[in-house]
Each structure stands twice: as C-alpha cells, then as structure tokens.
Amino acid sequence: MKRLIIIISAIVISACEAGLDYSRVESDECIYVNAIIGNHALSAVTAYVTIPMNSEDYGKCRKTVSVSGSIGGRPMALEDHMGDAYFDEGTKILNGEEIHPGDMIEIKASAEGVSDICAKTKVPEEINLISARIVERKTDFITFEIIYEEEPGYEGYYGIYFYQNPISEGPGILLPESYDMIVPHWTGGDIVIWDRHKVSREGNVVTFRTSVEIRDGINTSGYHVTLYSLSAETFCYLRGEYIRSSTGFAALGMGTPAFTYSNVIGGTGIIGSFWGTDITLE
C-alpha cells in the first residue's frame, strides 16, 4: 500500500505544464469542413479556410469557400446562412433534401490558394428496433435498455439523444453500467453513443443497457428521445471528441492520449451521416 501511495505521489508531483511557442509551429492553410447529415432537420455544411497557428493575418480565414455536393447522386441544394445559436458563419443549410438509408453523400469544396477537398459518407440503415424501456429509476439516475436486431458481423454504430433533458454519465461506483460515451450532439445537448463492444448478443438480437444521470430531475412519464444509427465516420468523430474531453486528470497535468478524427481528403474536418427515429422511452 505504501509503495502504491509513493508511486501515485510521484506521478502527481511530477506533473507540470509547459508553454507552447506557436511561432515555431509550422502548418499550412487548408479547408475545414463539418457536416453531419441525416433525415432530421438542421442538417448543414460549415466550411472555411484555416490559418497557421503562428499566423497574425486572421483575415485569411475569411476567404470565400465554394461548396458543392450530392446525396444519392442528386445535386445538393445549399443555402447561405449567416450564423445563429446553432451554426457558425460560413454555414450552408440543406434545403428540403430527400435522404434515404443507403444514399452516398459526397461533398467537395475549394478556395483560392489552398487545395481542394472532398469527402463522402453513406447514410446508415434505420435501427431495427424491438423495444426500448427504462429498467430502473433511482434518485437522479435512470437505467434503460435498447433491444434491436442486427445481423452477426454487421458493424453498427448507434446513439440515443435526450434532446429535452440534460444528461451526464452516472457514477460507476453506484451504477457499474454507466461507463459509456456521452458526447455533445452536433445541434446542442448530449448524445450517448455505442458500438458492438458495449452490447450483449443472442443470435440476431442485441441488447444495449446503460445508466445516465438526468440533471433536471427524474420524469415519471417518460422521455422523448431520438434513436440514431450512425455512420462509421460520425461515430469515429464523436468517439474522438469523447476521448479528448473526458479525462479526469486534467487538473494534474495529465490526460488520455487523444486524436482528432477526419475523413476529409485534402483538408480537415468531418463528413458524417445518421438516420434518426423518434421514440418515447418509458
């Protein structure tokens, strides 16, 4: 026990912070694009030109970016948007696009003086839901399970969005099933995401069970949620955000090794997709 205390103390004491001289960081301008597109409202494409960290010419990021795309081979209709609580400047809104599971979404962008970019994603199939129910209510926490069908060997990625209720991870000591990824949703709020590593399976029947804290109090009448199938690109991006932001050791100068996922060729960012189904969890 004494040896363990000494080791932990040595780690804590040795943790330190070091300044970073941005003038020595070399990088090039490129196009950043962010688009997570699906069958629900508020699908949009944000694109702008990044600038090197050591640059003092912040006007470079105001370069005009030309964006085009297609959904299932059909040209994508995009409208300029000036920015609000949901979207940044440089955002284009999808205008009444028809989207189907299995559609390939492709986006291209170009700007003066930088490389053109392109990226694509395939809209996932709708989750084949069997049931969704709350198993237990305990103070500010609920335990729920989602049961669905999935072919063995299929690499599915999923999420559940409590869009009317703020949520947090439940403490693992009290709720051992609570160690699942809760990350910011792309339109605000939080979403629980999972893959095949977080489920139990019997043949084609898959069960996902977890516990979350409902920060505004337990609702005895149920919760209106959106159940998502996520493309691999969307899941990898959200998982990277979870790893980057979820460390509990930041105050000690330590953190989990993290990465920023990007599937954009020639630039950086994320082009992902989803298929959402609105349900009541009760």
Instruction: Give the tens place of pLDDT for each residue, 127-164.
Output: 999 999 999 888 788 889 999 999 888 889 999 998 87
Region 67-76: mean pLDDT is: 92
The pLDDT of residue 163 is: 81
Rounded Cα distance between 263 and 218, Å, is: 39
For the chain, the first-to-last Cα distance in angstroms comes to: 46
What would the pLDDT profile of 255-268 be if each residue is shown by its tens digit? 666 678 999 999 99
- Greatest mean pLDDT range, 37-41, 117-121, 222-226, 236-240: 117-121
The pLDDT of residue 35 is: 92
Q: In what order do the strands lie in the sheet with 190-194?
A: 78-81, 91-94, 44-49, 31-37, 268-281, 223-230, 158-161, 190-194, 181-184
Got the DSSP string for 121-176? EEPPPPPEEEEEEEEEEETTEEEEEEEEE--TT----EEEE-TTS-EEEPPTTT-T
Better-predicted residue by pLDDT, 66 or 6: 66
| Lowest model confidence (mean pLDDT) among 13-22, 137-146, 169-178 | 169-178
pLDDT over 70 at 10, yes or no: no
- Cβ–Cβ < 8 Å for 55, 30: no
Enumerate the H helices of 145-264 as residue ranges: 232-245
Rounded Cα distance between 62 and 65, Å, is: 9
In sign, the C-alpha dihedral spanning 252, 254, 258, 260 is positive
Region 62-81: mean pLDDT is: 86
Better-predicted residue by pLDDT, 191 or 219: 191
Largest CA distance in the chain: 67
- Greatest mean pLDDT range, 25-39, 193-207, 254-268: 193-207
**97 — pLDDT class (breaks 50, 70, 90):** confident
- Greatest mean pLDDT range, 14-23, 153-162, 217-226: 153-162
The pLDDT of residue 3 is: 55
Whole-model pTM: value is 0.83
- The single-letter DSSP state of residue 14 is H
The pLDDT of residue 173 is: 41
The pLDDT of residue 113 is: 87
**186 — pLDDT class (breaks 50, 70, 90):** confident
